[in-house]
Amino acid sequence: MKFWIGAAVFLVVAIGFALSPVNEYFFFAAYVILTAVVLATAWNILGGYAGYVNFGPPAFIGVGAYTAVVLFKAIGAPLVVQILAGAAMGALLGLGVGLLTLRLRGIFFAIATVAVVFIMETLAINWRYVGGATGLQLQRPEVMAPFTSYTRMLFAVMAIMAVVSVAVARYVQGSWIGRGLRALRDSEEAAEANGVPTLKLKLFACVVSGALLAAGGAPMPMYLSFIEPASTFNLAYTVSSLGGAIIGGMSHWGGPIIGALILSTLQQIITVTISGEVNVLIVGVLLVLFVVLAPEGVMGLFKRWLKPS
Amino acid sequence: MAEALLKVNGVSKHFGGFTALSGVTVEIARGERFGLIGPNGSGKTTLINCISGLLRNEAGRIVFDGRDVTPLAPHQRTRLGIARSFQVPRPFHTMTVLENLLVPSAYVVHLSDAEGTDKAMDILKGMGLAPKAHQHAAQLSQVELRKLELARAMAANPKLLISDEAMAGLSGAEVDEVLAILFRLNEAGITIIMIEHIMQAVMRFSQRVVCLDAGKIICEGTPQSIVQHPEVQRAYLGA
């Protein structure tokens, strides 16, 4: 109940902001930060709960974005349809990738997911309809009332998506599925021997995580008014999705929110005040610090601080 | 005689060129206390991995409770009633002891958390682990981990419990403690396969013992007859 009240308050404040005369740049930056929350939360369902480190977020984000572009170009589909279709394609990709790779473990699984990124990027580069390697300029449609600019509307949409993805992650964590995922993360053999259908659960996590990652990427072409393979399938998305989860803490749904907020806010500030290059360095330094000093992330630090043993 | 609970029929398993099991056939009756012995590398753990489904046997069939389980995944076999402990304990280390037991109670017996907790606490009390119920599995001692393995297997309501070296590395008193637990479970009607290196424990516990050597059953009989069997003495002592 508390969660839903919090979510409702957050949405009211976010949409209220979007309707207020606050400077447009705020929404431009806040959209990126909220996307980071969606991506980290989505990544954590497979990477954190099940312990399968997925380096493939760009593949899923790209599939979401390109699905949106194709639908927009072909039939002028509205944003909601673009996002839902993107999520559906992401789920399908998750199922396919899962069936092919989830029998691999640890580093082998991670490497296989990197390969998926390159495969999807190559496909996009060679697809003329969506502009191939040079990309495609997109004309944003008219903004819907009551919003006064498209960026403001995208910000509000992303706020809703953040709430949806966190709600999904929270549900999975608290359900019997979450317990099964934890069990198989701790020991896959023991989980099987105790009745947990590990392959099915991993596939489920991969599908849900894939759908949310793709949904997070779907509004991006409209946000940029442009799509192009190199930046869409950029491995930097991998770093920010798993970085958010690692920094925030992977065992609780709150972790990726905190991590993504810290990381991407910092990145936004540094990009503006120092440079776009330094912000990559900051992510690296933060990741190293957290892995070494606080392997359970901010949530872990918080827990230790609450009950010192 | 009633139909056997478990029939292992001509089971073979190779790892590359190495033959871990070749044509193993054995039947285990309902309610039996069955001992499986053999020198290191003789295929004991491979055999129970084939029975529990962690490994797929290449030849032969495994029939449990009148049903051919050969094509089934481990979790499906657990649901039919085959539970096991692991030689090297594999607790769910990020969970508490109680939560460890709630995994099989949710996935195998389909109990709600409240029902599962009641049942799990009963099992933990029986094993003397109740005071540790809310500790993390990572904080347990060796003997407690062994007991947790057995307790977790019990939470799956098994018909057959396979105890894979539950006593290795334990002190004499601790061995007695674990033995007492296993005797109690057997009295409650659970068939038990015990794999053990501690001869004294197997001999005391088992009604019938089978000795494996190089992937083959070299003899079968009562504990007394087994130790005197020349093949067994050769396998263990050489020459």
pLDDT tens for residues A217-269? 999 999 999 999 999 999 989 988 999 999 999 989 999 999 999 999 988 88
Q: CA-to-CA distance for B173 and B195, rounded, in angstroms?
A: 19
Mean pLDDT of A190-214: 96
Q: Are A158 and A219 in contact (CB under 8 A)?
A: yes
Nearest CA-CA partner of B161 in A184, A192, A197, A193: A193
Q: Is B110 on the interface with A (CB under 8 A)?
A: no
The answer, yes or no, to whether residue A309 has pLDDT greater than 80, is: no
CB within 8 Å of chain B, chain A residues 166-185: 176, 179-180, 182-183, 185
Q: A-B interface: how many C-beta pairs under 8 angstroms?
A: 81
Q: Which residues of chain B lie closer than 8 angstroms to A186, CB-CB?
A: 90-95
Q: CA-to-CA distance for B83 and B104, rounded, in angstroms?
A: 10
In a domain, A13, yes or no: yes
Q: Which residues of chain B lie closer than 8 angstroms to A185, CB-CB?
A: 94
Q: Are B199 and B228 in contact (CB under 8 A)?
A: no
User: What are A47-100's pLDDT values in tens digits?
Assistant: 999 999 999 999 999 999 999 999 999 998 999 999 999 999 999 999 999 999
Q: CA-to-CA distance for A245 and A205, rounded, in angstroms?
A: 16
Q: Are A71 and A194 in contact (CB under 8 A)?
A: no
Q: Are B205 and B11 in contact (CB under 8 A)?
A: no
Angle between helices A198-217 and A176-186 (to 10 degrees): 110
In a domain, A57, yes or no: yes
Contact B73 A194 (CB under 8 A): no
The answer, yes or no, to whether residue B102 has pLDDT greater than 70, is: yes
Q: Is A73 on the interface with B (CB under 8 A)?
A: no
Nearest chain B residue (CA) to A185: B92
Q: Which of A179, A197, A198 sits opposite B102 (nearest CB)?
A: A179
User: What are B190-214's pLDDT values in tens digits?
Assistant: 999 999 888 888 889 999 999 999 8
In a domain, A147, yes or no: yes
Q: Which of A190, A197, A251 sits opposite B92 (nearest CB)?
A: A190
User: What are A137-154's pLDDT values in tens digits?
Assistant: 998 888 887 888 999 999
CB-based contacts of B4, cutoff 8 Å, min separation 6: B27, B28, B29, B30
Q: Which two tokens stand for residue B192?
A: 């038990």
Q: What ipTM is given for this predicted complex?
A: 0.89
In a domain, A289, yes or no: no
Q: pTM, whole model, 2 decimals?
A: 0.90
Instruction: Find how far residue B150's CA is from the centre of its chain.
Output: 9
Q: What is the distance in angstroms between the Cα of B157 and the nearest Cα belonging to chain A? A: 11
Q: What is the pLDDT of residue A275?
A: 79
Q: Which two tokens stand for residue A213?
A: 């990652």
**Residue B39: pLDDT band with limits 50, 70, 90:** confident
Nearest chain B residue (CA) to A180: B103
Q: CA-to-CA distance for A161 and A169, rounded, in angstroms?
A: 12
CB-based contacts of A103, cutoff 8 Å, min separation 6: A199
Let me know if A106 is exposed, middle or buried by CB neighbors in 10 A (0-12, 13-18, 19+): exposed
The answer, yes or no, to whether residue A40 has pLDDT greater than 60, is: yes
- Mean pLDDT for chain A overall: 92
Q: What is the distance in angstroms between the Cα of A185 and the nearest Cα belonging to chain B? A: 8
Pairing state between β B216-221 and B208-213: antiparallel
Q: Indicate the SS3 state at residue A211.
A: helix
Q: Which of B94, B99, B103 sits opposite A196 (nearest CB)?
A: B103
Q: What is the pLDDT of residue A143?
A: 84
Q: Which residues of chain A lie closer than 8 angstroms to B156, CB-CB?
A: 194-195
User: What are B8-24's pLDDT values in tens digits?
Assistant: 999 999 998 899 999 99
Q: What is the pLDDT of residue A308?
A: 60
A104 vs A85: which has the higher pLDDT: A85
Q: Are B94 and B169 in contact (CB under 8 A)?
A: no
Mean pLDDT of A109-138: 93
Contact B99 A179 (CB under 8 A): yes
In a domain, A113, yes or no: yes
Q: What is the pLDDT of residue B230?
A: 86
CB-based contacts of B65, cutoff 8 Å, min separation 6: B5, B6, B80, B81, B159
Instruction: Find how far residue B88's CA is from the centre of its chain.
Output: 12
Q: Is A25 on the interface with B (CB under 8 A)?
A: no
CB-based contacts of B74, cutoff 8 Å, min separation 6: A189, A192, A193, B52, B53, B54
The answer, yes or no, to whether residue B178 has pLDDT greater than 80, is: yes
Contact B73 A197 (CB under 8 A): yes
User: What are B109-152's pLDDT values in tens digits?
Assistant: 999 889 999 999 999 998 889 999 999 998 999 889 999 999 99
- Mean pLDDT for chain B overall: 91
Give the least confident one: A17-21, A189-193, B101-105.
Answer: A17-21
Q: CA-to-CA distance for B55 and B48, rounded, in angstroms?
A: 9
**Residue B50: pLDDT band with limits 50, 70, 90:** very high
Q: Which of B53, B86, B92 sits opposite A182 (nearest CB)?
A: B92
CB-based contacts of A129, cutoff 8 Å, min separation 6: A70, A73
Nearest chain B residue (CA) to A189: B54
Which domains are delineated in chain B? 6-237 (3.40.50.300)
Q: Which two tokens stand for residue B126?
A: 């029986």
State what percent of residues in chain A have pLDDT above 70: 99
Q: Which two tokens stand for residue A274?
A: 């120092």
**Local structure of residue B196 (DSSP, 8 states):** -
Q: Are B62 and B50 in contact (CB under 8 A)?
A: yes
Q: Is A193 on the interface with B (CB under 8 A)?
A: yes
**Residue A27: pLDDT band with limits 50, 70, 90:** very high
Q: Which of B74, B94, B99 sits opposite A193 (nearest CB)?
A: B74
Residue that is written with structure tokens 């347990």 in the block: B140
Contact B93 A179 (CB under 8 A): no
- Domain range spanning residue A206? 2-234
In a domain, A171, yes or no: yes
Q: Is B102 on the interface with A (CB under 8 A)?
A: yes
Rounded to the nearest 5°, which phi and psi values hold at B163?
-105, 105
Contact A182 B74 (CB under 8 A): no
Q: CA-to-CA distance for B180 and B186, rounded, in angstroms?
A: 10
Q: Where are the alpha helices (DSSP H) in chain B?
A: 44-52, 74-80, 97-107, 113-127, 142-154, 172-187, 199-205, 223-228, 230-237
In a domain, A196, yes or no: yes
Q: Which two tokens stand for residue A71?
A: 């639908």
Nearest CA-CA partner of A82 in A228, A220, A237, A231: A220
Contact A179 B106 (CB under 8 A): yes
Q: Which of B52, B93, B106 sits opposite A193 (nearest CB)?
A: B52
Q: Which two tokens stand for residue B48?
A: 């129970």
Q: What is the pLDDT of residue B2?
A: 66
Nearest CA-CA partner of A89 in A64, A110, A54, A55: A64
Q: Are B58 and B231 in contact (CB under 8 A)?
A: no
Nearest CA-CA partner of A254 in A306, A288, A297: A297
Structurally, chain A folds into a number of domains equal to 1
- What kind and span of H or E run contains B161? strand B160-164
In a domain, A185, yes or no: yes
Nearest chain B residue (CA) to A251: B94
Q: What is the pLDDT of residue B239?
A: 54
